[in-house]
Structures are given as C-alpha cells and as structure tokens.
C-alpha cells in the first residue's frame, strides 16, 4: 500500500469529534474511526484504500487546498 500525497490535518474544537475513513470501490464502507477530544489533532492521509473522510462534530480541517473552520 503506497500512500498518496494528499492529507488533511483535523483539530477537534469540541470533545467527541468522530473521524471516519471510507473505502474506495463500488461499495463505499467505513473502515476506520477515531474519536478526538477538544484540542487533539489527527493527520490523515488518503491511500489506495481510503477515498474519503467523514467528520462528525466541530473540527478545524486543513489541507493543501485550504482550510475549513465551522461557524460558531
């Protein structure tokens, strides 16, 4: 499994932020999840198996194309 160059940095802005990795292919499925508490940071990388990342909760997301910070 060779990682791709695309990655995101996710910083939880509240406790209990859930991050889920979704698979590639004809049937998209969850294959991994993590919980972050306020202030924790996760660096996620897209791979041949991960095509999307779903985030539930308030989090700051930084990537090579910009950043997203939810409205208060």
Q: Please provide the DSSP assignment of 6-71 as one string.
A: -EEEEEESSTTEEEEEEE-SSS--EEEEEEE-TT-EEEEE--SSEEEEEEESSEEEEETTEEE---
Superfamily of domain 7-68: TRAP-like (2.60.40.50)
- Residues with pLDDT less than 50, the chain: 1
Would you state the pLDDT for residue 2? 54
User: pTM for this structure?
Assistant: 0.80
Would you state the pLDDT for residue 56? 94
Would you state the pLDDT for residue 72? 61
């Amino acid at each position: 499994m060779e990682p791709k160059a695309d990655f995101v940095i996710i910083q939880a802005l509240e406790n209990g932020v859930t991050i889920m990795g979704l698979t590639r292919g004809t049937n998209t499925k969850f294959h991994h999840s993590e919980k972050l508490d306020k202030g924790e940071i996760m660096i996620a990388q897209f791979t041949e198996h991960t095509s999307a990342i779903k985030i539930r909760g308030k989090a700051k997301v930084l990537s090579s194309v910009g950043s997203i910070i939810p409205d208060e």
